[in-house]
Amino acid sequence: MAFKYGMKAAVYPDQLQDRLESFRRLGIPSVIELHLFGADDVFSKDAAVWSSGVRRYADVCRFVVHYPIMDAKTGYLFDASDDDCDRFEAVLDFTQACGAVGLVMHCCYGFNRDISKREAMTGFLAQVEHWNELSRMRGIRILLENYGFVWLPPGLGADYVTSPLDHCFPWDMAVMVAAIREKGMEAVGFLLDTAHAVLSANMFNMRRRHGHLSGDKRFRNIFSEDLDRARCLTASDFMHDSIEYFHVSDAFVWREEDNHLDEMRKWLYTENLPIGRGNVDFAEIMEKAKGDETLIMEINPEKGDHAHNISQYEAVVWFREKFG
């Protein structure tokens, strides 16, 4: 068995062609995760044009679609507690039209709502069961992705939103895996975002070390019941056997010697870095992998040129040399 490798791209032709050329140079099968932005693509009047433009490459590339966490134009935040079935089915139809095999969904439920973690988990799993039925009929696999609090771009009236399910700590994932198996949700799997796992571990460890952070709303989704489950966390603690895909990027791991909190954004917000720009121990994470998962390089180009993302290409080269 060997890892499979992928890269992210928008549905735009220049990005798709760039990624396909990167895979040609690498001499490996092409896997592309399509990141959607809402009204600019999947919910636009040109949605059929975008999907048909992707589908022309379906014979030479395996596609996965990423549900838009936020609509770049309207500011709409997808929240599983909204029960917006029409919107979800529209994305499923777009995914199918692209010839994609999977749809990535963030584990979020009840943004800024005063509900318990137990209530949020129950509601979320009910939605997942519904997603399973809708996606199974279309031959699409749902991939649940761990996520932390959602930090927002300027102009939306808030810096971030939180949900009771933020972080998907290892014990939360265990609950989800058990429920999915018990209910026989055969169309549902998991994707682990390594940077999200790092940021969530950072927040957990910082919250244990600095009790006053309980008053910071970004940390309010780390409950006392969570703190009772472990003394510290690392990204490798988030690994489990049901993971099929990874999002891979570098980030900054907070350690106890980093006692200063004046660089809070560094520990809470930084992700999508090229490999080597942070300090993530990927060997520690990958040694717990099965070895046949797909690793999507969810890395932003250093110079902002998304049409020519050399950082993702370089990450695949590095991982193949390091882990095969």
Cross-strand pairs, 103:
65, 142
Q: How far apart are CA 269 and CA 199, in angstroms?
A: 7
Distance CA 197, CA 167 (A): 7
What would the pLDDT profile of 109-126 be if each residue is shown by its tens digit? Answer: 999 888 999 999 999 999
Contacts with 191 (C-beta within 8 Å, 6 or more apart), sequence order: 104, 143, 144, 145, 146, 243, 244, 245, 246, 247
Given this model, what pLDDT does residue 1 score?
60
Domain boundaries, the chain: 4-151+161-193+239-251+272-323
How does DSSP classify residue 266?
H
H or E element that contains 313:
helix 310-323
Residue (of 133, 132, 130) closest to 143 by Cα position: 132
DSSP 289: S
State the chain's mean pLDDT as an integer: 94
Query: What does the pLDDT read at residue 70?
Result: 86
User: 306-309: long-range contacts (C-beta < 8 A, 24 or more apart)?
Assistant: 306/9, 306/10, 306/15, 307/12, 307/14, 307/15, 307/18, 308/18, 309/7, 309/9, 309/15, 309/18, 309/19, 309/22
Q: Does residue 84 register a pLDDT over 80?
A: no
Among all chains, which residue has been given the structure tokens 């006053």? 212
CATH architecture of 4-151+161-193+239-251+272-323: Alpha-Beta Barrel (3.20)
Backbone angles phi, psi at 250, to 5 degrees: -85, 160
pLDDT band at 3 (very low <50, low <70, confident <90, very high): very high
Is residue 140 a contact partner of residue 102, using CB atoms and an 8 Å limit? yes
Instruction: Give the Cα separation of 222 and 204 in Å (integer).
Output: 7
Q: Rounded to the nearest 5°, which phi and psi values hold at 286? A: -70, -20
pLDDT band at 257 (very low <50, low <70, confident <90, very high): confident
The predicted-structure confidence for 12-30, as pLDDT tens digits, reads as follows: 999 999 999 999 999 999 9
| 260 CA to centre of own chain | 28
End-to-end CA distance of the chain: 10
Give the CB-side neighbour count of residue 59, counting CA atoms within 13 A. 1
Rounded average pLDDT over 201-212: 94
pLDDT, tens digit, for every residue of 33-79?
A: 999 999 999 999 999 999 999 999 999 999 999 999 888 788 888 88
Please write the tens of the pLDDT for every residue from 90-112: 999 999 999 999 999 999 999 98
- Which residue, chain included where needed, has tokens 């999915």? 180
Residue of 253, 247, 260 whose CA lies nearest to 300:
247
**Stretch 278-290: mean pLDDT, rounded?**
97
Task: Give the pLDDT confidence score for residue 25 in this predicted structure.
Answer: 98
Cα separation, 306 vs 258, whole angstroms: 33
